[in-house]
Structure 1
Amino acid sequence: MPEKTSQTAGTIIPTRPTEWPTIILAFVIHGGFFALTGWWQSLSPIVAIIVGGWLIAWHGSLQHEVIHGHPTGIRWLNDAIGSIPLSLWLPYPIYKDSHLEHHRDEFLTDPIEDPESSYFTKAAWEQLGATGRLLARWNTTLFGRLTIGPAVMILSFLGQEWRLIWTNEPGRRRIWAAHGIGVAAVLFWATLVCGVPLWLYLAFVYTGAAMTRLRSYAEHRYAESHEERTAIVENSHFFGLLFLYNNLHVLHHRRPGISWYRLPTVYRQNRETLVCSNGGLVYDGYWDIVRRFFLKPHDDPKHPRHS
């Protein structure tokens, strides 16, 4: 069926009914954040870090859902739900633009065209130097991706953004100024009102980033056909909820408008077609990924089309 549309200021905007499971989820995540920061002293540091990391990663999954037009037909309201910077380092507007660019499937894994690619061009690989190449190879193992991976991701992103700000990329300073206000509000609440030590909050952020890196670790790999570059991780109910079933990644790329809570059912109904279309790139849960790649590279970090 064609999507219903409404016209606002000359722009046709797809409309959809309000998705209450996602609204409830947003309240759960933000309520959990307030509860954790308010009562963190009643938990051991390890438990607090695990819970905080889960909430940060879960919030990132919610942001991903919002980017794809959920949970309402009101664009500004969706963006408001996704814009609270619990992770501190990633401005929502930049994440939104880069992720939608990532969804040009014909360019998946390309280190120039795909902003979420983990591959290197030949020139970028040579510029890393011996130590950089060693770290990059370590980062292709799951152990490396979970340990140094968050630091590599965050620091490389901030370095790129600093260069854009320095060269006065249009709109970048405005985005970061607004983001800075949001970060200040989050840290004011957590550290000054609730007394959470800054090191502990940063541990929440790092752990959440590591959990997110687990999801993205084996999502894509280069193949000649772009349809075979996206994986499926089945039988993962625990992490599936954390990732809002984005582990069924082929289905998400084929139909990014499907709500997270509908993905498992739609996947089961179309499993044979989806597995055939991606060349059988299927993992039996995240333990299967751990077993295969914990200390072994997932792929050569040098992109075959740019080497």
Structure 2
Amino acid sequence: MSNFSIDRSGQLFRRRRRRSLKVEWPTLSLLIACYSLWAAAGYLLYPAYPIFALVVMGVAVALHSSLQHEVLHGHPTRNARLNEALVFAPLGIFYPYRSYKRTHLQHHADERLTDPFDDPESYYRALKDWETMHGLLKLLLTWNNTMIGRLLIGPPLMVVGFTVSEWQKILKGDRKVILAWALHLAGLLPTLMVVSLLFGIPVWIYLGIPAYLGISIIGIRSYCEHQWSEQPDGRTIIVEKSVLAPLFLYNNLHFVHHKLPSAAWYKLPALYRARRAEWQRMNEGYVFANYFDVFRAFAFRAKEPVAHPVLRRNDAVPMADVAPQKQIDLADYGLSGIAVPTDVTA
């Protein structure tokens, strides 16, 4: 796989991209289904079955988060502005789409995965920061590294940490972050009006159940997505099968996504099956059969230490801005028997 010429890959990609559909209908259909499920739960189910409706809305929030992830990677159309408009309504409330896009693409610099400063999605902390941290916060972060902890207290820890970081940038005059939040508020206000005035759901209940639950469900997927390894390919997980895989848009096959970040969600299972043994060899066997196995192993036991075991042991510096690497979309021909290069990341 890794010996395939990148130049040749680019030529094949351009030819296939010209022949590809301008609109990925499976993704567009799923977006419509997601909004329909959310609206039906709020408008039709909530008056008669409020608890059930709120849980269904939480599932819709988790699916919408997965769809936002798909959109920031260039789906379902070739137009980034149109794609953004398709996920403009922030059903999950807390994260501005453009800020999520910026930090997530930065996260895709695989050579910096798990770095406490350079990977914005890392759960590790620099040793110096850890040693000077308040005892209560240490306790919370340690519990957050168990799976039960991640699902129960992970949502507020993530939301608070992310929001504080964003507002620090706003106070420094970061125009991109200011615009991201302005656009977020433009979508958030009508969304909350629909929730409150049309569905009749108090905003605090929506925040406390569907929005919280949506983050918690996504936490099942993100809990063990990455670990420290000397080799970057060994840092990203493969969870082979799960009933939650469709809800996560098959990002349980997370290593495949990191190697082919522009591959559409519905192509990931076939891409994985086509070279299953090779994918597992490349990621050094960081593989679980399903999320139940992850739960059994780490429900009440921290999978990782909070302090990074290798990186940033003696320094504490602000996170550097990392430019995302160039993407080459290889998804369209990964199923045709052509070897897929694995040294191209987003």
Q: Give the Cα separation in 2 of the matches to 1:34 and 1:186.
A: 11
Match of residue 241 from structure 2? 235
1:258 Cα deviation from its structure 2 partner: 1.1
* TM-score, normalised relative to structure 1: 0.93
Q: Give the Cα separation in 2 of the matches to 1:264 and 1:157.
A: 31
Q: Which amino acid aligns with 2:103?
A: S
Larger displacement relative to structure 2 (95-104 or 158-167):
158-167
Which of 40, 60, 65 in structure 2 is aligned with 1:60?
65
Q: Contact 1:93–1:175 at 8 Å: present in 2 too?
A: yes
* SS of the residue 1:220 aligns to: coil
Q: Which amino acid aligns with 1:220?
A: H
Which of 190, 204, 221 in structure 2 is aligned with 1:215?
221
Match of residue 9 from structure 1? none
Q: Which amino acid aligns with 2:94?
A: W
Match of residue 226 from structure 1? 232
1:124 Cα deviation from its structure 2 partner: 2.0
1:158 Cα deviation from its structure 2 partner: 1.0
Which of 169, 175, 183 in structure 2 is aligned with 1:178?
183
Match of residue 2 from structure 1? 13
Larger displacement relative to structure 2 (44-53 or 268-277):
44-53
Q: Contact 2:46–2:54 at 8 Å: present in 1 too?
A: no
Q: Deviations over 1:22-67 (max 9, x none)?
A: 0100100011121122124345343223211110000000000111
Match of residue 29 from structure 1? 34
Aligned pairs for 1:152-301 (under 5 A) are: 152-202=157-207, 203-236=209-242, 238-301=243-306
Q: Give the Cα separation in 2 of the matches to 1:105 and 1:171.
A: 24
Q: Give the Cα separation in 2 of the matches to 1:5 and 1:269.
A: 19
Q: Give the Cα separation in 1 of the matches to 2:179 and 2:118.
A: 25
Which of 134, 139, 147 in structure 1 is aligned with 2:139?
134
Q: Deviations over 1:171-217 (max 9, x none)?
A: 32232122112111100111012211223211100000000111100
1:74 Cα deviation from its structure 2 partner: 1.7
Q: Give the Cα separation in 1 of the matches to 2:31 and 2:215.
A: 19
Which of 54, 58, 65 in structure 2 is aligned with 1:49?
54
Distance 1:303 1:67, change over 3 A: same
Match of residue 5 from structure 2? none
Larger displacement relative to structure 2 (36-45 or 238-247):
36-45
Q: Give the Cα separation in 2 of the matches to 1:265 and 1:43.
A: 41
Q: Which one has more relative contact order, counting CA pairs under 8 Å at least 6 apart? A: 2
1:251 Cα deviation from its structure 2 partner: 0.3
Q: Give the Cα separation in 2 of the matches to 1:275 and 1:134.
A: 34
Q: Give the Cα separation in 2 of the matches to 1:5 and 1:20.
A: 17
Count of equivalent residues? 300
* SS of the residue 1:35 aligns to: helix
Distance 1:114 1:14, change over 3 A: farther
Q: Contact 1:83–1:91 at 8 Å: present in 2 too?
A: no
- Structure 1: any 5+ residue segments left out of the alignment? 7-12
Q: Which amino acid aligns with 2:36?
A: G
- Structure 2: any 5+ residue segments left out of the alignment? 1-11, 314-346
Q: Give the Cα separation in 2 of the matches to 1:92 and 1:52.
A: 19
Identity, % of aligned pairs? 39
**Does residue 111 of the first structure (1) align with residue 116 of the second (2)?**
yes
Question: Whose helix fraction is larger, Structure 1's or Structure 2's?
Answer: 1
Match of residue 306 from structure 1? 312
Q: Give the Cα separation in 2 of the matches to 1:205 and 1:239.
A: 18
Q: Contact 2:147–2:223 at 8 Å: present in 1 too?
A: yes
